[in-house]
Amino acid sequence: MTATSPAGSARVAGRRRPVALAAEASSDSLLHRAATPYYLLLGATVLLLVLGLVMVFSASSVLAFKYLGSSYAIVVKQAMWVGIGLPLTAVASRLPVRAWRALAYVALVASLALLCLVVVAGTEVNGNRNWIDFGGPFRVQPSELAKLALILWGSDLLARKHKLLCQWKHLLVPMVPVSGLVVALVLLGGDLGTAIILVAIIAALLYIAGSPLRLFIAFIAPVFAVGLLMVQSGSERLSRITSWLNPTLDPGGVGWQALHGKFALASGGWWGVGLGGSKEKWGSLPEAHTDFIFAIIGEELGLVGTLTVLGLFGVIGYAGLRVAVHAEDPFVRLASAGVTAWILVQAMVNIGAVLGVLPITGVPLPLVSYGGSALVPTMVGLGMLLSFARQPRGR
């Protein structure tokens, strides 16, 4: 055995130390590169889309075979919506800021017109009248389009008035009345879940615009009163609150979905029962491929799978906030924060309902749950965020 002298050890350590420092500096600079948010957003979005297709197929295969004659019937529709959304996302990621601002008022007027059409001639699904049925496989939920439209319009409005926002009248008018009209039209259809997301978007825009904390405190009571009125005015919404507070009171009725969602999560353990091995999807868990797909992820992929989903949404949140913080253009800063709040709050509301920490509101899991009306606007919104991320400092 050959002995190494102290001088020789010092020379070896001296050679290794710069290499270690260089590797550490390289990993640190990687997170702080200007292009990092773009690639984080792109990677997390693609992974969630792929996971969504896989889990929609797994969760819906039994239901699709029973009612449509083919295990692939539902996932094929979802793949069609992904196929529609991908080119739209690609185009959105290339649009300049001025193009998005030009679309703001067009998107708002179109959304208001569609929401009014829902009130007049909407189709009711699961107790909520928030759909427009065009016949065949095409059924649209305008409230999903309203989320993106409200972000575009609100960001453009507040950006144009950013030097006047120290005055209350410029901060609140016309932002709050018009946003309130959009929320009211959604509530007329009974869609409390989407209304919650819209309120979160409005709050995020006003917060980023510099609204004082006392403004949000002043709005807590009216928002709570409206929510309470909506819950009491609908038997289905009231039953959801009841099942949330104590699902064991009626385990065979209103508590069925909440309990079986927890059963699915509990049976998954650390690693899950295996892809395709869910028992709850065989008819026990309602809406397994839509609102409660997170429960099937937990059952088949275990705690590791659910934490992966949470991590991917965390990546989107981190990257979106990075874009907003470093943006010099007020519109880019506001719109980036609005889209990020939309994705994160909707994910939290959906996952919270599955876990039982929040009431069930019928909100889908972004990019993962089945449904084109929610998927395509979300993809376009993320495409806009990608377009901001690839432009230096959001100019």
Q: How far apart are CA 195 and CA 207, in angstroms?
A: 18
In sequence order, what are the residues at sequence separation of 6 or more whose Cβ sits closer than 8 angstroms to the Cβ of residue 127? 190, 234, 236, 237
* Amino acid 10: pLDDT: 46
CA distances from 13 to 22, 23, 343 (A): 14, 15, 48
The domain spans of the chain are 35-394
Question: 88 burial class (0-12, 13-18, 19+ CB within 10 angstroms)?
Answer: middle
Q: Give the residue, 27 or 241, on which the prediction is more confident.
A: 241
pTM of the model: 0.89
Condensed to tens digits (0 to 9), the pLDDT of residues 180-199 reads 999 999 988 878 889 999 99
pLDDT of 19 strictly over 80: no
Q: Which of 258, 285, 166, 273 is nearest to 215 (CA)?
A: 166
- Residue scoring higher pLDDT (226 or 259): 259
Sorting pLDDT into bands at 50, 70 and 90, what band is 132?
A: confident
347 touches 316 (CB < 8 A):
no
Which tokens in the block code for residue 5? 């002298």
Average pLDDT over residues 201-207: 95
DSSP codes joined into one string, 108-124: HHHHHHHHHHHHHH-EE
> Among 354, 295, 342, which Cα is nearest to 55's?
295
Burial class (CB in 10 A: 0-12, 13-18, 19+), 278: buried
- pLDDT tens profile 93-130: 999 999 999 999 999 999 999 999 998 887 877 767 78
The C-alpha atoms of residue 318 and residue 302 are separated, in whole angstroms, by: 25
Percent of the chain exceeding pLDDT 70 equals 87
Residue 13 clears pLDDT 70, i.e. is over it: no
Longest dimension (CA), the chain: 90
- Average pLDDT for the chain: 87
C-alpha closest to that of 378 among 204, 166, 124, 145: 145
